[in-house]
Chains A and B, each alone.
Chain A
Amino acid sequence: MARSVTTRRKIVYTVLAWGVGLLIFFPILWTILTSFKTEADAIAAPPKFLFFHWTLENYAVVQERSDYMRHLWNSIVIAGGSTLLGTVVAVPAAWSMAFVPSRRTKDILMWMLSTKMLPAVGVLYPIYLMFIQLGLLDTRTGLVIVMMLINLPIIIWMLFTYFREIPGEILEAARMDGATLRAEILYVLTPMALPGIASTILLNVILAWNEAFWTLNLTAANAGPLTAFIASYSSPEGLFFAKLSAASVMAFAPILVLGWFSQKQLVRGLTFGAVK
């Protein structure tokens, strides 16, 4: 709190802030509402806000037409798998940078992070060719690997910022008591950093879930996750807004729900650790 605010101003600010919040949330809300409308109600003028014929038909049609469940499963496997794999690689790296720093640690970290800032098209084509060679094109395994690679710098950075907050003396004490390195990381560091690891995992799942550049260019019918599924509704669907909305809701609902139950982690994760 920066300075004291009078009650009346506080109410005015609260109303205003919530008004803006509603405005920001409106496109999402409207999409959700439209997904329950019939196509006729979806384009009615003036728009029907709540009093329309509620129906689940759009969802059934979308599932039937483009096999939502298959894409959902792909998304879960890709986001979950890449996160798991990335965390396994990142924990030792973050541990060594946070607790056994050398003169070069800061430089390596900055360099790692800077790779994340490079435009992905710079490496797309070589990876694409490599995927053809290895038979990884349009497979979930291939995407798990790519997602792990592109998000690894973020995972390491996030874990590093969390690990840094843990006093190194505790790990040293464990070491003095004869704990092996594996035990030190697994039974001392991990439990203490659990909230941080949870945020990191959440962020990475969201990033992998939303990633479209790689999924659109490296998958087709077989391994396409939800982003590919929703992109297929882009242009030819033009006039079927209720179905388009249903498809959109099916794609973002898991994130919305996940985010709702982990608001603190969401804030810290999405701001890449900048917000405590």
Chain B
Amino acid sequence: MAQARKRRLRLSAIIGTVPMMIVAIGVYVIGIAFTVFWSFTDSKLFPNSTLVGFKQYHRLWQDDRWLVAVQNIWIFGILLMVFALAFGFLLAVFMDQEIRQEDLLRSIYLYPFAMSLIVTGLVWQWMLDPNFGIEHTVRSLGWANFQFSPLVDPNTAIYGLVVAGIWQGSGVTMAILLAGLRGIDAEIWKAARIDGIPIWRVYIFIVIPMMRGSIGTAFVLIAVGVVRVYDLVVAMTGGGPGISTNMPAVYVIDMITKSYNVGQGMAAATIMLLPVIAVIALIGLGRIVSTRRKNAAILRAEATA
């Protein structure tokens, strides 16, 4: 009787997960399979199945627009990661000092993250416009030589995107790191004070290592945002001036919609998928290995007993 009930429960559990599995397999696995397949074909405006080997990849890595896009995503990603984590951490330390109206303030910090990147891009495009934005305002207040208009110059435009990205991401990083900070045992602070260790050293050598869980969460969240970055570029610079703020996702879309070169676009998309899939596979592999080890250890323990 109990057995039958248990089996029925298991069955409903499986049925419960079926729609989710269909969705995940249907969309991601099949979608990605098609993308990878077309990247090896001669597809132009519409996909065809004339295989051409690695020709599209070869051409891809000779395209300046793609090379700029790849360089940009590294600059954008690394700077955003460093600054968002640094600002997020400093803000979290601030917030941990019995700030008044903390809940309210935390929401304000989070607002940029709750806004569409399209809006963020537009607002910052305007803030960084030399004729109307920050530069203009500061100059009209008296500092006539003040310069802050990165978007005008192809060499600095990418840093304009970084500024908007930091504005968007710092608050949410703060919220995650603050939760990590709050999770740390208060005894540690007491012990450190009794031992006379300066506060900054406690943070760097004890607190930060203990926060690796929440730092990891923030890291993943920012990294995911970086790989997918598209709307911010479209709204803020449209990839310009010239091709200076081109990004891989923008490149793929342009290849499909403007250059009618689906094959090469799919090759670029495949290249974008590769590192993410590799990381996911590595994590998966790590999990399998660690459970194997654990099982082996249990078996050995049983054998000796």
Q: Is B91 an interface residue (CB 8 A)?
A: yes
When A13-B94, A126-B31 are in contact, do A46 and B141 touch as well, CB less than 8 Å?
yes
Are B107 and A267 in touch, CB under 8 angstroms? yes
**Residues from chain A with Cβ under 8 Å of B220 in the complex:** 117
Contact for B284 among A92, A110, A206, CB less than 8 A: A110
Stretch from B53-61, B123-131, B154-162 forming part of the interface with A:
B123-131
Question: Quick check: is B245 within 8 A (CB to CB) of the other chain?
Answer: no
Docked pose: A267 CA to B253 CA in angstroms: 33
- Using A119-B276, A234-B122, A275-B176 as known contacts, say yes or no to A92 and B16 having CB atoms under 8 A apart: yes
Q: Does the CB pair A3–B193 fall under 8 Å?
A: yes
- B12 x A181 contact (CB < 8 A): yes
Q: Does A194 interact with chain B (Cβ within 8 Å)?
A: no
Q: How large is the interface on A (under 10, 10 to 19, 20 to 34, 35 or more residues)?
A: 35 or more
Q: Which residue of A lies closest to B97 (CB)?
A: A13
Q: B172: which A residues are within 8 A, CB to CB?
A: 270-271
Partner of A115, one of B24, B113, B126: B24
Q: Which of A14-47 contact B (CB under 8 A)?
A: 14, 16-18, 20-21, 24-25, 27-28, 30-31, 42-43, 45-47
Q: Which residues from 247 to 276 on chain A have a C-beta closer than 8 Å to any C-beta of chain B?
A: 248, 251-252, 255-256, 259-260, 263-264, 266-267, 270-272, 274-276
Do residues B280 and A114 form an inter-chain contact, with CB atoms below 8 A? yes
Partner of B249, one of A20, A121, A241, A248: A121
Within 8 Å by CB of B19, from A18, A89, A275, lies A89
Set of chain B residues within 8 Å of A235, measured between Cβ atoms:
238
Binds A, one of B76-84, B145-153, B181-189, B296-304: B181-189
Beyond the given pairs A9-B97, A21-B109, A256-B111, 17 more chain A to chain B contacts, judged by CB atoms under 8 angstroms and listed by A's residue number, are: A2-B181, A2-B182, A13-B97, A45-B140, A122-B32, A123-B32, A125-B34, A126-B31, A129-B47, A230-B116, A230-B118, A263-B107, A264-B103, A271-B176, A271-B217, A272-B217, A272-B221
Report B's interface with A, CB cutoff 8 A.
5, 9-10, 12-17, 19-21, 23-24, 27-28, 30-32, 34-35, 38, 47, 91, 94-100, 103-119, 121-127, 131-132, 136-137, 140-141, 167, 170-172, 175-176, 178-179, 181-182, 184, 186, 189-190, 193, 214, 217, 220-221, 223-224, 227-228, 230-231, 234-235, 238, 248-249, 252-253, 256, 262, 265-266, 269-270, 272-273, 276-277, 280, 283-284, 287
Interface, chain A (partner B; CB < 8 A): 1-3, 5, 9-10, 13-14, 16-18, 20-21, 24-25, 27-28, 30-31, 42-43, 45-47, 89-90, 92-93, 95-97, 99-100, 102, 106-108, 110-112, 114-127, 129, 149, 152-153, 156, 175, 181, 206, 209-213, 216-217, 226-227, 230-231, 233-235, 241, 244-245, 248, 251-252, 255-256, 259-260, 263-264, 266-267, 270-272, 274-276
